[in-house]
A = this chain, B = another copy of it.
Amino acid sequence: MTSRSTTTTARPSSEGRAVARTQTLLKGKDGIGTVRRTTLPGGLRVVTETLPSVRSATFGIWANVGSRDETPSLNGATHYLEHLLFKGTKKRTALDISAAIDAVGGEMNAFTAKEFTCYYARVLDTDLPLAIDVVCDMLTGSLIEQADVDAERGVILEEIAMTEDDPGDCVHDLFAHTMLGDTPLGRPVLGTVDTINDLDATRIRRFYKKHYDPRHLVVAAAGNVDHNKVVRQVRAAFEKAGALKDSEATPLAPRGGRRAIRTAGGLEVVNRKAEQAHVVLGMPGLARTDDRRWALGVLNTALGGGMSSRLFQEVREKRGLAYSVYSYTSGYADCGLFGVYAGCRPSQVHDVLKICRDELDQVAEHGLTDDEIGRAIGQLAGSTVLGLEDTGALMNRIGKSELCWGDHMSVDDMLARIAAVTPDEVREVARDILGQRPSLSVIGPLKDKQAARLHEAVS
């Protein structure tokens, strides 16, 4: 991402406190917010996007830890910990935490991914101080007591059971396993019944101490927010918790991305009784930082990103073979995946897979038409701007940018980069990515004869 730093100010040290550095990273205009960053002593980063035209604010804290940081026996610990941070602090019970945000009609939640964890609350702007107080308390003061670990174990096991019962969801976990095997990135975020049953408070607390140091965290707020006020309140909350003592500490650099990941690939089938079978046909994609990601974004959109996309037209519109069919990309620090998903009745799996494979081969060989590329560029540009009205989406954008890139890109620059994608770039990335031998993951009620033919799609 391009750096857009425009001004740098240093707040003078008062009362012997260490100096915080504040920068304006992006200047706002016409409904686009101003983005500022302050790095606090202790290495805590605070980024905000100020959009005075809205009446709400979303406050979040991002931790640079995800399931890929887990050893095999710790699998699921990051997500377990995310649940436990809602269970109580030195100051608040679990009910105190949820009641505080419920009482003002806010929405509080968290999500755990393979490379990060995020906690957030969306509230009316007047309730922002409350949201900051509660979320900072959760992040800095969680107790993680054994009794809570035991009560929450049941909830996590129910979440695993619920996901197991949703094959359209867990076929993506299976695909990660097919592609990346029993590696940190190949394992599920939720963990397994066995690892969850084995985790205890001591190990989770150790994991918490290690990964929730302020150097590993990014605080992000977006909406009708005042940067300096947010910084002051966050600083006070973290200082009160004794979390910013090391005035020499500097923020952790974004996760590195030069290590090549072994990809396994092949064919994995899980037989399960249901009406539909769920397939993901795919191949290695691109790392998050790969320059070709813009072209891959256009390719992905044209191939399976909307109702006018090739796959939707060929599989659903013309033949009525599936209700849901789409393509997607996942980008990590050092690798990525590209996948095509479809859900259909088992008797139609071969037709669906043949069409998808044919389209992938066609596009790998001949690229897309200019019409398709133009439409995909318009689609990405329009949806990028439409995605900027929700303070939750804004908070996600700046928080993730800071954590994963340490940098921010203006909307205009993003739109320019999307518009600059050329047919040649798309053709090249199509050849590079779609030209690879595909792998296949299937969950569904396949008969032996049906399962025996699945290899056709990947040979």
State whether A389 touches B386 (Cβ < 8 A).
no
State whether B95 touches A162 (Cβ < 8 A).
no
State whether B323 touches A158 (Cβ < 8 A).
yes
Point out which of A107, A275, A318, A385 has the most chain B C-beta atoms below 10 A from its C-beta. A275
A123: chain B residues within 8 A (beta carbon): 382, 386
- Given contact pairs A56-B386, A152-B320, A389-B56, A105 touches B381 in the complex (Cβ within 8 A): yes
A30: chain B residues within 8 A (beta carbon): 55
A450 CB–B CB distance under 8 Å: no
Q: How far is the CA of A156 from the CA of B345 in the complex (A)?
A: 12
Point out which of A53, A380, A381 has the most chain B C-beta atoms below 10 A from its C-beta. A53
State whether A158 touches B31 (Cβ < 8 A).
no
Q: How far is the CA of A378 from the CA of B123 in the complex (A)?
A: 12
A391: chain B residues within 8 A (beta carbon): 389
- Contact partner, A99, options B86, B102, B108, B375, Cβ 8 Å: B375
A381: chain B residues within 8 A (beta carbon): 105
- Contact partner, A306, options B102, B122, B306, Cβ 8 Å: B102
CB distance from A293 to the nearest CB of B (A): 18
CB distance from A86 to the nearest CB of B (A): 8
Which residues of A, 293-351, contact B by the 8 Å Cβ criterion?
305-309, 312-313, 316-324, 343-345
- Given contact pairs A53-B53, A389-B390, A105 touches B324 in the complex (Cβ within 8 A): no
CB distance from A320 to the nearest CB of B (A): 3
A428 CB–B CB distance under 8 Å: no
State whether A343 touches B386 (Cβ < 8 A).
no
- Contact partner, A379, options B105, B152, B344, B386, Cβ 8 Å: B105
- Contact partner, A54, options B31, B164, B168, Cβ 8 Å: B31
A94 CB–B CB distance under 8 Å: yes
State whether B162 touches A105 (Cβ < 8 A).
no
CB distance from A182 to the nearest CB of B (A): 22
Closest B residue by C-beta to A307: B98
Which residues of A, 14-52, contact B by the 8 Å Cβ criterion?
30-31
CB distance from A381 to the nearest CB of B (A): 6
A159 CB–B CB distance under 8 Å: yes
Closest B residue by C-beta to A52: B53
Contact with B along A58-71 (1 / 0, CB 8 A): 00000000000000
State whether A276 touches B154 (Cβ < 8 A).
no
CB distance from A450 to the nearest CB of B (A): 16
Which residues of A, 395-440, contact B by the 8 Å Cβ criterion?
none
State whether A122 touches B323 (Cβ < 8 A).
no
Q: How far is the CA of A107 from the CA of B308 in the complex (A)?
A: 12
A-B contact pairs, 30 of them (CB 8 A): A30-B55, A31-B54, A31-B55, A54-B389, A55-B389, A56-B385, A56-B386, A86-B307, A95-B313, A98-B308, A98-B312, A98-B317, A99-B375, A102-B306, A102-B307, A102-B378, A104-B379, A107-B386, A108-B307, A123-B382, A123-B386, A127-B382, A151-B319, A154-B320, A156-B323, A157-B345, A158-B344, A162-B276, A162-B343, A165-B275
- A interface, CB within 8 angstroms of B: 30-31, 53-56, 86, 94-95, 98-99, 101-108, 122-124, 127, 150-159, 161-162, 164-168, 273-276, 305-309, 312-313, 316-324, 343-345, 374-375, 378-386, 389-391
| 19 new A-B contacts at CB < 8 Å, known A56-B389, A151-B319 | A53-B54, A56-B386, A102-B305, A102-B378, A105-B386, A106-B383, A122-B386, A151-B320, A156-B323, A158-B323, A158-B324, A158-B345, A161-B275, A161-B276, A162-B168, A162-B275, A165-B167, A165-B274, A165-B275
7 closest residue pairs by CB, A with B = A105-B382, A154-B320, A98-B307, A161-B275, A105-B383, A158-B323, A99-B308
